[in-house]
Amino acid sequence: MSRFVDRIKEHIQSIPRVESHYCRAETEREYIEGTKTIADLHRDYQESCKNENIPSATYRTYYDVFTREFNIAFHFPKKDQCDLCLEFHNTPADGKSFLQERYEHHLREKDLSPKERKNDIDSKIDRYL
């Protein structure tokens, strides 16, 4: 059984994650593109095992490992949806170059925002001490 569990974990860990945009400081949950279900992931896992000519675990075993050992959701929380990020991700590849610089600037600003907020909070605390 453990060889199945190890293989399932490897498969789940190989699934690309999408970074939470606004909620990342509030949650440890990871997100996967919302176009797949656990059943879809299990089918991908089975196909991978078939291609490697190794036996695969049942859906129930895959489901149990996925839900008990990982903290993954299939969609973004509603407050995670930023218009610029959605526009960039929904733009076809040939049109992304137009948005690329603006999007990269937005990501840099997004990373600075929590740091500035912490600095503001720390400075308010210092004034009261």
In tens, the pLDDT along 82-95 reads 778 878 878 888 88
Q: Residue 66: is its pLDDT beyond 90? A: yes
Task: Extract the tokens encoding 31.
Answer: 């997100």
Write down the domain spans for the chain: 1-78, 82-129
The pTM assigned to this predicted structure is: 0.56
CB-CB contact of 80 with 22 (8 Å): yes
Region 35-44 average pLDDT: 90
Q: Give the integer Cα–Cα distance in Å for 100 and 86.
A: 13
Strands in the chain per DSSP E: 30-31, 72-73
